[in-house]
Amino acid sequence: MMDPEVSVLLHCAHWHGLLESQVQVELSERFNRQTDLALERHIDEVWTKRVSKEPWLFNGAKFRLHSFCLADPQNPPSTPLSHGTIFHHTEDQINQGQRDLGEMHNRCISQTENAEGASNHDYREFNGIADKLPPHPAPLLTLRLGLTCYKDYLGTNWSCGVAKLRQRGEAEFGDPLTLLAQPLGVGAILCTSNGQVVMIRRSQKVAEAGGLLDIPGGHPEPKAVCERLGQRVCEEQIGIAMMERKPEAIVSELFSSVCAEIRDEVNIPLSSLGPPVLMGVALNHTSAGRPSAEFYVSCSLSSDEVRKLYWKGGVEASESTEVVFVSRTEVLQLDRSSPLWSELCPSAKGAVLLYQTVKPDVVPDQRGRGDAKLTPPRVHKETD
């Protein structure tokens, strides 16, 4: 199924998704975007213009996705990925986002990489190979992250000159993404106890995709990591040195932030949510390939209970205007010919594609193994 707005960067279908213990992070200044004085002036001009029109805008720090390493299912790592045999993946130039997601052509490069070896910055997709893993594998995915901010995102990914930035990046660095902010977002396919996937309609007042259906989501926050490590800092003071010795705190924020977004946007208590399962990373080509880590999260509440909580209003209730429920069966069958597909914003489309690919509804104690079995779909009697 080809949709120019989205593509799948990586998926964890072989394992039916990954838990927090199976993911690690490498944080380094090497993974920040490249820049120069002319680009910084451009970013400042864009920001100044936007703030003059929208004075409430806030320049928060974000994590920047540079690249990733995913374990070879045929040779699962017994040590951290940076020291083991891995697949390294880069994205071939997306050719304006046109890609047939139904027929992924996977070009994986097997290599051995030491802890200091930073790779080419682009991304490439990976398709799991059906092979059994040991019961307690080492971390299977390494995300290589730098730091960026919302201001840089508006001045690069969301800039009217982003095509030229991509061309410059390719010509000067051999990498079309090296000058872009590429902030890493998070999103969740949230499934109720009666098999309904929770979506929210975005307010017309939000910056992107107003009026379209979305999934709960947002961004992992570097400031939250610093605070978790006992460092009270303002956004402008946040630096990599504050976090690079505790990468596990970044992984924790990545997984916990998606639950916090569900709580704030849908008003569901954290106690009603299951552990997030990372399905993969999708790219939003309406913002120059901005990446988002997409999760599956189960909920112990029914759709009726969720609806009642939503209408009571959460912390971020103003960002949406209604809650919509779509059966799990329908979500698994969605494609571009479905009327609902045109109502989805790009982030929701990417999450749906990953959900259809990864099928994360598995027996919990089987996750991480190649022999996991899918639970049978529920029979739904109610209509929403």
Q: How would you label 47-64 residue by residue, b for 16+ Cβ within 10 Å and e otherwise? A: beebeeeeeeeeeebbbb
Number of domains into which the chain is organized? 1
pLDDT at 223 > cutoff 60: yes
- In degrees, rounded to 5, the angle at the alpha carbon of residue 317 between the alpha carbons of residues 314 and 319 is 145
Range of the domain at 284: 6-71+138-358
pLDDT at 244 > cutoff 70: yes
- Mean pLDDT for 359-371 is 58
Is residue 377 domain-resident? no
Helix (H, G, I), strand (E, B) or coil at 219: coil
Write down the pLDDT at residue 202: 86
Write down the pLDDT at residue 203: 83
Is pLDDT larger for residue 310 or for residue 128? Answer: 310
Is residue 338 domain-resident? yes
> Strand locations in the chain, DSSP E?
6-11, 23-27, 61-71, 85-89, 109-112, 141-149, 185-191, 196-202, 213-214, 217-218, 277-284, 290-298, 320-327
Residue type, 88: H
Is residue 373 domain-resident? no
**CATH code of residue 54:** 3.90.79.10
pLDDT at 38 > cutoff 90: yes
50-63 pLDDT per residue, tens: 999 989 888 999 99
Write down the pLDDT at residue 173: 94
Encoding tokens for residue 305? 């209970």
pLDDT at 8 > cutoff 90: yes
Is pLDDT larger for residue 210 or for residue 259? Answer: 259
Is residue 112 domain-resident? no
Is residue 189 domain-resident? yes
Split at pLDDT 50, 70, 90, the class of 120 is very low
In 3D space, the residue among 149, 145, 144 whose CA is nearest the CA of residue 234 turns out to be: 149
Is residue 133 domain-resident? no
Secondary-structure percent of the chain, ordered helix, strand, coil, rounded to 5: 35, 25, 40
Write down the pLDDT at residue 316: 81
Split at pLDDT 50, 70, 90, the class of 314 is confident
- Mean pLDDT for 248-271 is 97
Split at pLDDT 50, 70, 90, the class of 343 is very high
The one-character DSSP state at 279 is E
Is pLDDT larger for residue 241 or for residue 104? Answer: 241
Is pLDDT larger for residue 81 or for residue 137? Answer: 137
Average pLDDT, the chain: 81
- Mean pLDDT for 21-42 is 97
d(CA 148, CA 375): 40
Q: Which of 6-10, 51-55, 85-89, 237-241 has the lowest mean pLDDT?
A: 85-89
Write down the pLDDT at residue 258: 98
Is residue 209 domain-resident? yes
d(CA 347, CA 373): 27
Write down the pLDDT at residue 225: 97
Question: How much of the chain, in percent, has pLDDT values that exceed 70?
Answer: 76
Is residue 253 domain-resident? yes
CA separation, residue 239 to residues 98, 224, 324 (Å): 36, 13, 39
